[in-house]
Structure 1
């Protein structure tokens, strides 16, 4: 019988959590109540008490009692470790939680530690607006509580009942997966779509499953997380535009660790400076004043692109080269010398020979192999060359452990 962890603060949300637990039990599944409260005594006796949760990280609840911030942080870390252990031991098949700000922070911290595909549902007062701080790069389902998670009423009972049904359905769902093939991850953007679409069939025909990540900040972080998980055989990182957003303060930065996971994992990687000609911002009227007077391209009403200049391109090329130098596995940098995006080609809005040359020269400061290819990034010839280079690196034997 599947078991679902009902995680939450049983001192303040005990009745609500127990309502959900009963609905799950009535659906024919077992329940494991996990208390992460740090206030008064729980109103419902949990199966795993808060002391046991805190003990996973040797936290002393008496020491941090009264400091809400420390309590939330500590119980989030502790719950993450506990749930991971429960999943590894096969003791739970899904997790659900209810909460406001603090409870949501604790529960989603724990959920982010769990594997992609493991059922996780958060009913929260915070499930509106920007929930990226709670979801991160994981597949957490955020369900709005509509009313506050503060008692049972005609609205909350409906929401909690549906939430219980949803997590039971997620756990019971028959999940089909393809036959195991070694995975290659690839980065893509609207300005490099044709390139990846041309490269993908080459890799698939060689027996690989290709997973594509959109280089929008979250996509880059998700790709880095998957690489770090050990599930990836090779990387076709042709769209490194998130580095430009990190440098210029754009809205699609993937953070300072972009291009780091594959370096540590030591897996075959092909890198290109795809879309490093642009940093991404929101609507035109949100563009920082410091970029007024620069070469700007209005991609759509909510996306404004700023062309990277010579100095910025030199810095980006140096950054890419430095990251590549850290790779312990085989890596090749490929440069499409005629255009690094659709709009940097000759005659297009972001065509800038001097900026591109500064970028390319800085990249060639890397100690790793650099190949210049006389093509635009979306030319089939470049896509074929990049895909075949990755297959060559994979053939060196670094991917054998994945097959």
Structure 2
């Protein structure tokens, strides 16, 4: 993105319904000495006062602007959001972006914001910011500010909130953070509570050579790690805890979506993976477990988290999913299978110990995995939290990272 004096503040939103509020944001930024570009995301076809007309944005839709402007408002807004995402990626002077709106405007603006690299300032003033913001923020570093009142009119409350938001964006653009002085290459690792000993052991062994970024595998964690891969901020991953895939396949609450692992098909980065916590699917309180699962092996992790043991059939499907994703990866691949168990509660005497289900998982991965010169699968007679398994992961990482396809370039 842009740097220095070329850095421009973008004000985006639906100028047909939020024109006064967006204009106030522009004025606040200009008073602070910011160069401002306004971008209209309206789909009504009304005249636009913005620097960038809605039709200019709409032309970035894969099917052209005709795909954006139609009689169905919902379809038009969805198409405009897609066009806006592609539009933003073409801008070379973008130093930061701000928007204000309700649910529709927030959905459109944040879809574009999520496409921008981590570190580019992003501010969203929204009526939705006091609720569940995951659909809007996702794995990105969007700042959500609750509008307090509706985004409708300039009055004593909206002036305060919008001005603070504009000031925050201006500060982020005018005073970008100093580049990290850490010279070690950054790598991503995924951890869950039941794989913590393994990940802690791996990071301890690598901390002198690598800047270890650990992500909690709660759905957005895996997405965030892959967002950093897309942004060029990590050089590879030791994906110990692929548990989010179990939630995606079975229907738990902590899925990272069907695109989990796809970042490593887009980028030839070294990838070391394992089966961490694939023995479990996550739900909320005990009463929140769907009726169809009531007869299954359940474990009360805490009052707000209930775990369900994956069955042999589910493990087979999870393994097939993982193998397919591994086969699409472009960089060096090492996948390590811990035959002694995949989580702290998957040991003899523990509630999720189920050798038959584990064997189904391991067999499906092994059967589907395409081996090659730089694509290796290892089955080890170890538990995932054994020190020796952490040692094996470190050896696999050093081997994969030394290969020319991924390399240990610095982020």
TM over 0.5: yes
Matching of residue 367 in structure 1 with residue 374 in structure 2: no
Matches within 5 A, 1:84-103: 84-86=89-91, 89=92, 91-103=93-105
Tell me what 1:219 maps to. 221
Following superposition, the deviation at residue 362 of structure 1 comes to: 2.7
Q: Secondary structure at the match of 2:189?
A: strand
Tell me what 1:273 maps to. 275
Change (3 A) 1:360 1:99: same
Following superposition, the deviation at residue 121 of structure 1 comes to: 0.7
Matches within 5 A, 1:294-305: 294-305=296-307
Change (3 A) 1:319 1:111: closer
Number of residue pairs the alignment of both structures matches: 398
TM-score (structure 1 length as normaliser): 0.91
Contact 2:9 2:97 (8 Å CA) reproduced: yes
Matching of residue 342 in structure 1 with residue 349 in structure 2: no
Take 1:220 and 1:242, find their aligned partners in 2: how far apart are those partners?
7
Tell me what 1:253 maps to. 255
TM-score (structure 2 length as normaliser): 0.89
Following superposition, the deviation at residue 41 of structure 1 comes to: 4.2
Change (3 A) 1:292 1:84: same
For the aligned residue pairs, the C-alpha RMSD in angstroms reads 2.3
Q: Secondary structure at the match of 1:240?
A: coil
Following superposition, the deviation at residue 117 of structure 1 comes to: 0.9
Matches within 5 A, 1:124-273: 124-176=126-178, 177-205=180-208, 207-273=209-275
Take 1:61 and 1:356, find their aligned partners in 2: how far apart are those partners?
51
Tell me what 2:76 maps to. 71
Change (3 A) 1:309 1:147: same
Following superposition, the deviation at residue 174 of structure 1 comes to: 4.1
Q: Relative to structure 2, which stretch is displaced further, 356-365 or 304-313?
A: 356-365
Tell me what 2:33 maps to. 28
Q: Relative to structure 2, which stretch is displaced further, 381-390 or 277-286?
A: 381-390
Take 1:62 and 1:357, find their aligned partners in 2: how far apart are those partners?
49
Contact 2:338 2:380 (8 Å CA) reproduced: yes
Change (3 A) 1:99 1:386: same
Take 1:254 and 1:140, find their aligned partners in 2: how far apart are those partners?
18
Contact 1:76 1:105 (8 Å CA) reproduced: yes
Contact 2:243 2:278 (8 Å CA) reproduced: yes
Decide which of 41, 49, 55 is 1:51's aligned counterpart: 55
Matching of residue 389 in structure 1 with residue 396 in structure 2: yes
Alignment gaps of 5+ in structure 2:
none
Following superposition, the deviation at residue 387 of structure 1 comes to: 1.1
Change (3 A) 1:83 1:253: same
